[in-house]
Amino acid sequence: MSDGFTTRVEQPSGPVHAGPGTLNYTVNLGLGDQDKPGRSPRRIADDQLRLLRQQFVDPHGMGAARRLRDASRTVILHGAPGSGRTAAARVLLYELHQDTGIFRELLPGEEEGALTDPELVGVGDRLLLNLARADLSQWAQTRTDLSALRTAVQEQQAHLVVVMPHDGVLEAHLQPYRADIARPPVIEVFRRHLRLHRIPHEEYLRRAPALDAFVAEQPPMEEIALFADRVRRARAAHPVHDGFATWCERSRNAPKQWRTEVAELVAKQKAASQRALLFATAMLHGAHADVIHHGAALLLRILNTPRDEAPLLEGKDLSERLTEIGAAPGPDGHVRFDKLGYDAAVRAHFWDHMPDLRHHFNTWTVHGTELDDPHITFVLRTRLVSRLADQYLRTGQGVDLAFLAEEWSAVPATRARLEAAIGALACGLHDLRYGQSLRLLVYNWCAGKQLTGNLAHVLLRVCTDVIAPTHPDQAMTRLRHLARRERGATPALDALCDLAATSARLRRRLLDRLTRHSSTPTADDVRLFLRICDPVALTDPEGAPKPLIEEKGVHASVVTGWAEVLTKIEQSQWQPYAERWLHTACVAGDHRDRLLSLLVDAAGRDGGILAALYSTARAAEPSAPGGRARGTAITERLLQKISTAQGLSPSAASTPPAPPREITR
């Protein structure tokens, strides 16, 4: 039983299956521009939550949970395993539609920090603290820390939903925030999924004995979603001759009845060419017959299997060979097994009973994504990688998906191969059992591993597209390490800036890490600081009670960072950023003096640096927003502050400081 995320990519064109239990959604990681990540993490997270909301059926008690959320900003959600409690928590947060803040998962014991840290909560954040699987000690510590966390949530006008362990205790002072939910009616969840699969209601409202038996077992939410998806596939394979009852009967038996039959079929099909066709059909199930044919031939080449020397016209044609393994092309030319779920049983058999061929299966999969055939689409490539990743996850080898991604990202790497590498690692990161271990491995690689080939690009994409939507703090740390190692192009730094732009809390945290928490900032940290310390973002409250520039902690970070900039790098490098700073001051209204003061404070009493700032202001006057006159006014105001910093009388403020001297480094 599971209440969290799992990942499947069986039907990338739309929702696969999900419900109040496990959320299963498409991993769509097309590369697009190789130098850029995909959609923003905030958009990805919102899209995932939107999909869940479409699939969601309210469990009993959901209305009370909503009222509690709105009244107190905190809900401690309690429910039995398999009741859909984590999905309910996500929906409670998604429904808020906050203009500020982001959705985040808090993970006690990982990198985000203690729950008592006030910096953990940003304005308007929607926080999920999932402790459904927590042990007794972890749950006890969390209850101790909840008061401090709730205080921060209230102060920041955020919202918090805690999923507590089913057998966990809750003290009296926390009971007012508790909401109990119970699983929704199985049949309603099942029908919601069929509606999302666009199956007409007049079909699924009919009686089906197999469905009645399934409902009577009160299965976990994830099993309901899987069952609905099998019904969809049974209907697609036999839309005319069978009815709803038969589709349900086929779906009910599919998961468990084919293992022995597959073993017998493989034992019977001794010829390498037929076994290759069987494997290719299972891995490429639903693909065009041409793709299946090319896939089987590819496996034979990889295994260096001698070709059949019989004349081509004397051999069996593809249709006959497919019939021998229980498959056939449909009217659209796409090949499927006659029996529902048979393809999964075949994949499991080859992986489990031919372990010496697993490395070859890896090679075949990545080469399969690169086959030159008009019928090979992005959807098919994604599905192929997912089916291989399923074997790793099913057999307890989820962490090895990272090493598979590393192998696939080696030079030379085609676009399809990089997509495959990203998709394989994404499947592991989304898995509940391996996500934490893989995030740690990604951190170690970003921080210190020699990144050969295109591995840096793969890590960048999984940070932005997979980790950042739910764990932005962890993604920020990893992107920072990648950005520090960049030379020339700066895709990781660009992604880091984009991530910081999604949340004032993230920008504040990153500025703090780059300055005050770094005893000896490196030249790379200085370069990152100039990009992250954007004056427009610092002066825009973005819905918060006050902008970052008015916070004492941010003030200290900015002064420290600019002091490092002004003393450690050449004026030619920092001048464009200083000009942007001065131009922002032209239109910053009440924040004009604060922006100028921060630069002057960073320069200290160093006359050479103050003179350099003055000359920069003069150079920025012609391009100032509002014209040269406004730029000149900013220069004059800056000069007044420089004079004050140097202890000069007000009358001396009209005299420019001495020309800049050479900065000692």
Amino acid 381 reads R
**Residue 397: inside a domain:** no
Structural domain ending residue among the three candidates 216, 238, 253 = 253
**Residue 264: inside a domain:** yes
Both 94 and 226 in a single domain?
Answer: no
Q: What is the pLDDT of residue 31?
A: 36
Q: What is the pLDDT of residue 534?
A: 95
**Reported confidence tier of residue 257, pLDDT bands at 50, 70, 90:** confident
Asked whether 579 and 616 are in contact (CB, 8 A), the reply is yes
**Residue 157: inside a domain:** yes
Q: What is the pLDDT of residue 18?
A: 34
Q: What is the pLDDT of residue 153?
A: 95
Both 245 and 307 in a single domain?
Answer: no
- Report the CATH number at residue 73: 3.40.50.300
CA distance 626 to 495: 31
- The whole-number average pLDDT for the span 410-426 is 93
Give the tokens for residue 424: 């394989």
Tell me the DSSP string of 421-485.
HHHHHHHHHHSTTTHHHHHHHHHHHHHHS---TTHHHHHHHHIIIIITTT-HHHHHHHHHHHHHT
Structural domain ending residue among the three candidates 180, 197, 213 = 180
User: What is the percent of the chain where pLDDT is above 90?
Assistant: 70
Both 510 and 647 in a single domain?
Answer: yes
Both 191 and 248 in a single domain?
Answer: yes
Q: The domain containing residue 301 runs over which residues?
A: 259-338+341-376
**Residue 475: inside a domain:** no
Give the tokens for residue 387: 């089916």
pLDDT in tens, 130-184: 999 889 999 999 999 999 999 999 999 999 999 999 999 999 999 999 999 999 9
* pLDDT above 60 for 33: no
Kindly report the average pLDDT of the chain as a whole number: 88
CA distance 100 to 503: 8
pLDDT in tens, 515-537: 976 667 788 899 999 999 999 99
Both 513 and 634 in a single domain?
Answer: yes
Both 529 and 600 in a single domain?
Answer: yes
CA distance 162 to 73: 11
347: nearest Cα among 357, 335, 333, 334:
357
Both 165 and 299 in a single domain?
Answer: no
Structural domain ending residue among the three candidates 180, 196, 223 = 180
Q: What is the pLDDT of residue 39?
A: 67
* pLDDT above 70 for 652: no
Q: In 3-state terms, what secondary structure has residue 249? A: helix
Both 101 and 234 in a single domain?
Answer: no
Q: What is the pLDDT of residue 25?
A: 33
Strands 103-106 and 5-7: unpaired
Give the tokens for residue 55: 């699939």
Number of domains within the chain: 4
Q: Any idea which residue has 């790379």 for tokens?
A: 524
* pLDDT above 70 for 290: yes
Rounding to the nearest 10 degrees, give the CA dihedral for residues 165, 48, 110, 475: 180
Least confident of 107-111, 373-377, 528-532, 658-662: 658-662
Amino acid 517 reads H
347: nearest Cα among 334, 361, 331:
361
Q: In 3-state terms, what secondary structure has residue 179? A: strand
Both 529 and 643 in a single domain?
Answer: yes
Rounding to the nearest 10 degrees, give the CA dihedral for residues 149, 154, 156, 159: 80
Q: What is the pLDDT of residue 413?
A: 84
- The whole-number average pLDDT for the span 469-497 is 94
**Residue 625: inside a domain:** yes
**Reported confidence tier of residue 40, pLDDT bands at 50, 70, 90:** confident
Both 586 and 510 in a single domain?
Answer: yes
* pLDDT above 90 for 98: no
- The whole-number average pLDDT for the span 440-456 is 95
**Residue 282: inside a domain:** yes
Q: In 3-state terms, what secondary structure has residue 159? A: strand
**Residue 19: inside a domain:** no
Q: What is the pLDDT of residue 9?
A: 31
**Residue 133: C-alpha distances to residues 166, 347, 577 (Å):** 9, 31, 48
CA distance 62 to 81: 16
Do you find a cis peptide bond into 255, omega within 30 degrees of 0? no
- The whole-number average pLDDT for the span 461-472 is 95
CA distance 203 to 205: 6
**Residue 33: inside a domain:** no
Q: What is the pLDDT of residue 518?
A: 63
Q: Any idea which residue has 């057998």 for tokens?
A: 167
Both 146 and 205 in a single domain?
Answer: no
The model's pTM is 0.86
**Reported confidence tier of residue 109, pLDDT bands at 50, 70, 90:** low
pLDDT in tens, 214-238: 999 988 888 898 899 989 988 887 7
Least confident of 200-204, 270-274, 573-577: 200-204
47: nearest Cα among 20, 27, 73, 70:
27
Alpha helices in 56-135 (DSSP H): 62-72, 85-94
Both 249 and 288 in a single domain?
Answer: no
Asked whether 123 and 158 are in contact (CB, 8 A), the reply is yes
pLDDT in tens, 372-400: 899 999 999 999 999 999 999 999 999 99
